[in-house]
Structure 1
Amino acid sequence: MRLSTVILPIYRWNDEGRSHWQRAEELGFHTAYTYDHLAWRSFRDGPWFGAVPTLTAAAAATSRMRLGTLVTSPNFRHPVTLAKELISLDDISDGRITLGVGAGGNGFDATTLRGPGQEWTPRERADHFGEFVPLLDRLLRSPASVTHEGERYSAHEARNLPGCVQRPRLPFAVAATGPRGMKLAAGYGQAWVTTGDPKIFETGTPADSVEAIRGQVGKLGAACEAIDRNPDELDKILLTGFTPDRQRPLESVDAFVEFAANHKALGITEIVIHWPIPDSEFAADEKVFERIATEALAQL
């Protein structure tokens, strides 16, 4: 099992930003991700920086740790411009970028560009996602020229030379729970991402969550089998903080080891924990967080 972290883009780079990313590498995290949003929930009225510039700076400040988004969505991204930014990131990082990508939601990302009441429906989000991922795949795999005329996206002789450092392209970690998203994960993903089942976040138990994720893993397996792909080829990533136990796994090394072991048994291969943010939903003891980073995996 791998252990990664997500560092929200809320820090001025020359104050705390650089030091957090460098410390994440020192602690041995496999990947450090950041959110790719225009704003997010309770952090909307505070500092919030762009994911791509943040990852560019992180790539220059680190040398070994992988970096990525968790997750990018079609809500305010276009495949053509995103592909150009991704090949640039992959080059600057010398092939250390993973793109976490999902269908998005109906929060600030959905309303900032289109206005309140103009959000895409769940079906419309799935429709955009279903065209977004295959086109992005083509743009990154075929850097010389891509032309596409779809229902939602167009590209005319789009060029992304010299292409990705990682071949045939940088890896996609596809966030999905529904059948259409699972098909995209099976068809295009090198990894699959879950946050658990949002329907039981408020009222469910940790045991309920484990069973829900077990079911999701099963659906991913079925989607892979439908296209004759071995589901073991995909990493299975759990972004924590959104299951009924919330931040309890970060209360102690033992609590985290128990949590991780329960999910390792389901087939989860990577667990992502939030960098502690005081006085927020991601508050945690920094000393315990660092002990989890350096000690927990040896007990699994």
Structure 2
Amino acid sequence: MSLRLSTVILPHRRWNEGGRAAWVRAEELGFHTAFTYDHLSWRTFRDGPWFGAVPTLSAAAAVTRRMRLGTLVTSPNFRHPVPLAKDLISLDDISGGRITLGIGSGGTGFDATALGQEPWTPHERADRFGEFVPLLDRLLTEDSVSYGGDFYSAHEARNIPGCVQRPRLPFAVAATGPRGLRLAARHGQAWVTTGDPKLFETGTPAESLRAIREQIEKLGKACADIDRDPDAMEKILLTGFTPDRQRPLESLDAFVDFAGRHAALGITEIAVHWPVPDSDFAADETVFERIATEGLSQLR
């Protein structure tokens, strides 16, 4: 697979005050996919504007034509498979079949307690994720679904006419642990990593590369266990969370070096954050646009 370049546009600007313009410009720059985070609030943006992923993607679908759109990532923290499936089918229809669902088990951030619940342990998150993904798969591929599980249920949930993309829109499953990787192998059309979070503060770029290589090897083993070809899966790296988190957008040369090293591991898609001034995602917009238009051609 050839390397693709995508972006993540945070939903922190009013649509008519820069929100719309970013999505339109992303398509003009040629990004493969423009993702957005599916959170109720997020990190240092918690006390500022933050809009919902589903309506944002609906609006983005109306002002773009070719670029794929998606979440990176949706989680069970505040989502239920039944209403989520209805929203996704609607998004896929509005966009003409351009939606990818990035999906993960969730974390311990603000989303984890926004509904008044105690945050789940890693084991509880894995348990819920293990039920969430297969049920969502069914809801997006079957006209009527009834199900009773430990965490989720559905009673004659209707999802007609289904997705524009058949048999359903693609899942990009974020996972690094064994249970999550098995889910990715069985249900994902793509796999997502941010690297090894244990290396974020004190690790080195070389250690991060080794960790991602090991993750890809474990994904390959999970695929082999069900006789699936791991090379058929897209492998997405969401940047900004590795030890060299600022480097990819420092210059065109820095991006080419970063992208080349990760492509050599087997990464097939790199997602960079749309610049946000005065934040962890601040970047020179001129450099960013040059990376978008020239970065991949420098690798060939």
Is this a same-fold pair by TM over 0.5? Answer: yes
CA displacement 1:64-116 (0-9 Å, x = unmatched): 0000000000000000000000000000000000000000001100011124x
| Matching of residue 252 in structure 1 with residue 251 in structure 2 | yes
Runs of 4+ aligned structure 1 residues displaced above 4 Å come to none
| Matching of residue 88 in structure 1 with residue 90 in structure 2 | yes
1:65-144 map, 5 Å:
65-115=67-117, 118-142=118-142, 144=143
What letter corresponds to residue 277 of structure 1 in structure 2?
V
Number of equivalences: 297
Structure 1 length-normalised TM:
0.98
Residue number in structure 1 paired with 2:239: 240
What letter corresponds to residue 70 of structure 1 in structure 2?
L
Structure 2 length-normalised TM:
0.98
Identity %: 78
Q: Give unpaired runs (5+ residues) of structure 2.
A: none
Give RMSD over aligned pairs.
Answer: 0.5
Give SS of 1:280's match.
Answer: coil
What letter corresponds to residue 127 of structure 2 in structure 1?
D
Determine the C-alpha separation between the residues in 1 that align with 2:283 and 2:96: 32
What letter corresponds to residue 15 of structure 2 in structure 1?
W
Determine the C-alpha separation between the residues in 2 that align with 1:35 and 1:229: 29
What letter corresponds to residue 40 of structure 1 in structure 2?
W
Give SS of 2:140's match.
Answer: helix
Give SS of 2:172's match.
Answer: strand
Shift of 1:15: 1.2
Determine the C-alpha separation between the residues in 1 that align with 2:59 and 2:290: 26
Residue number in structure 2 paired with 1:45: 47
Residue number in structure 2 paired with 1:284: 283
Determine the C-alpha separation between the residues in 1 that align with 2:49 and 2:201: 28
Residue number in structure 2 paired with 1:211: 210
CA displacement 1:42-74 (0-9 Å, x = unmatched): 000000000000000000010000000000000
Determine the C-alpha separation between the residues in 2 that align with 1:251 and 1:151: 47
Determine the C-alpha separation between the residues in 2 that align with 1:107 and 1:7: 19
1:170-209 map, 5 Å:
170-209=169-208
Determine the C-alpha separation between the residues in 1 that align with 2:211 and 2:125: 23
Determine the C-alpha separation between the residues in 1 that align with 2:210 and 2:282: 26
Residue number in structure 2 paired with 1:228: 227
Residue number in structure 2 paired with 1:61: 63
